Amino acid sequence: MRRLFARTLARPLVLAAAATAIPLGSAAPAAADSIVVGGFPVEVSDSPWTVALSSRDRFGGTRAGQFCGGVAVGRTTVLTAAHCLGEEVLGSPPEQVGDLKVIAGRTDLLSDQGQEIPVRSVWVNPGHDDSSNAGDFAVLTLSKALPAGSVIGMAAEGDPAYTPDTGALVYGWGDTSGAGDYANGLHAARVRVLPDASCERAYPGSDDGRYLSSTMLCAGEEAGGRDACQGDSGGPLVGQGRLIGLVSWGSGCGRPGSPGVYTRVSSILRTLGWDGTAADRRGGL
């Protein structure tokens, strides 16, 4: 089964468009102790740039309307997955979702911790290809600035954090088992950056998508067990303290031979003409 990490039921890792999460009946369950999948609970204070995308009108109030993840790369600038903002997820163009917000500084979605900030504007990469999943990113501009310490730097092309076998962490509030068990609290999983050749073998091209090393990065474990999953789309993959990927797509959750695929942040920087520093000064999207 293909999954995009918001995941729609067959591909990206987004929550199903419903007030409550819909279990993925065809997904292979991961290990019984898995979280994110195969991870552990964390406090948002340890990763304050990790944010949740929310629309209670579209997804209900059970989990504060959370349906995707995001990452603050500037005090008013958040990156997320393009597929999170598609009409098949939101039911309408994002600019017509009146209560689209970013939840920041909140570990437990059921708490009143942190703040909920309305999204002022949305820019979805026009080069996003939903057949291959290439170019899966979007930029949100917030109506209110986040604290300065809530921003993470981005890894440019050639950064050693992209080196195969480098350890990384993926964060999110998504499915913790691959069977529709959604977390209220933020979790993280330790994964490894995998060689492009491994990812090309795993995803040579099918209805699920095609691995393209120019715009994608994959991470996980060859044996499976640690991965992002449904509801984690758009969330951060962090290596050596820098943002290297956005949760995008894959086949199943934590399956052997089917690593998670991420939008490569260096390709985002190249597309937007950004460097790896805070993004707020850049306009014109």
List the catalytic residues. 83, 136, 233
Q: Provide the residue type at 270 as one letter.
A: R
Left if phi > 0, otherwise alpha if psi is -120 to 50, otherwise beta: which for 58? alpha
Count the alpha carbons within 13 Å of 49 in the hemisphere toward its beta carbon: 26
Residue 52, SS3 per DSSP: strand
The Cα–Cα gap between 284 and 211 comes to 30
Among candidate residues 24, 121, 16, 102, the one with its CA nearest the CA of residue 64? 102
Neighbouring C-beta atoms of residue 113, cutoff 10 Å? 14
Residue 100, SS3 per DSSP: coil
In the numeric block, the tokens 């994959």 are attached to 218
